[in-house]
Amino acid sequence: MEINGLNVLLFKTNIRTESDKQFIIQLMQQNEIDQCTIDQEDVDCVLRIVSNELQLNDVITLVSRHGYHCEELI
């Protein structure tokens, strides 16, 4: 999905704790992410990324490399 020229990417994750959430948000801020949110109240712990640079596979690789499950939410 694209909004105002930026990619909006949605992922299903297993980011359940507040410390995991803060870690991933900090990680995203270091990697050309314009906006990052994690909805831990959703059953899929939805990670929402807005970025002009990173693509779907980039985010999956980045999150997975740190031991979390991450897949595109369809």
Report the pLDDT value the prediction gives residue 66, as an integer from 0 to 100. Answer: 97
Cα separation, 60 vs 39, whole angstroms: 17
Q: What is the pTM of this model?
A: 0.88
Contact, 49 vs 36, CB < 8 A?
yes
* Buried b / exposed e along 41-65 (16+ C-beta atoms within 10 A): eeeebbbebbbeebeeeebbebbee
Q: What is the mean pLDDT of residues 4-14?
A: 85
pLDDT in tens, 20-58: 999 999 999 898 787 999 999 999 999 999 988 888 999
Report the pLDDT value the prediction gives residue 7, as an integer from 0 to 100. Answer: 82
Signed CA dihedral, 61, 39, 67, 73: sign only:
negative
